[in-house]
Amino acid sequence: MAKANVLFLCTGNSARSQIAEAFLRKYAGDRFEVFSAGLEPKGINPYTIRVMDEVGLDIRHHTSDSVKTYMGQKHFRYVITVCAQADKNCPAALWHLGTKLHWPFDDPAAATGSDEEIMKQFRQVRDQIEGRIKAWVGELETA
């Protein structure tokens, strides 16, 4: 049986969508082909790499892709937006035959302050995303 495609969509594809992609691969990579993209990709934020290293997930091989890369190229069973901008501007063509979900998370890339203060924000969002991924995978298993 073919794996269902899941796309995590954010504005910059630099933090939240990258984190979600990594965690879904970890917890349900046997069930899903997982992708992430941005409306205006900015490259992966170095803090994203650091906080994921802390939990043993190396995302250095990830790429920061434009949503346009997937338009008309893939059918997504699920498109999950992780920020309000992506939710508002998500192209319906990405999910018209699937399901669109919206999981809003604060943007850790907008954090300011010392290195430790920024890391704290990234850790908080990382942990929230991991919890949401685990809960969703559990919901799908019981459905």
Structural domain boundaries of the chain? Answer: 4-137
Instruction: Read off the pLDDT band of 87 (50, 70, 90).
Output: confident
Selection from 68, 74, 67, 6 nearest residue 35 by Cα = 6
Mean pLDDT to the nearest integer, 87-92: 81
Q: Which entry of 34, 57, 83, 118 is annotated as an active-site residue?
A: 83
Residues 67 and 26: their CA atoms lie apart, in Å, by 23
- Based on the residue annotation, tell me whether 7 is a catalytic residue of this protein: no
- Based on the residue annotation, tell me whether 83 is a catalytic residue of this protein: yes
Q: Which entry of 9, 10, 94, 125 is annotated as an active-site residue?
A: 10
Instruction: Read off the pLDDT band of 91 (50, 70, 90).
Output: confident
The answer on pLDDT for 52 being more than 90 is yes
Match 């008309």 to its residue by tokens. 72
Q: Which entry of 20, 67, 82, 90 is annotated as an active-site residue?
A: 90
Residues 71 and 2: their CA atoms lie apart, in Å, by 20
**Whole-structure pTM value:** 0.95
Q: Tokens at residue 91, please?
A: 């192209």
> CATH number of 4-137: 3.40.50.2020, 3.40.50.2300, 1.20.1250.20, 3.30.1360.200?
3.40.50.2300
Q: What is the DSSP letter of 57?
A: -
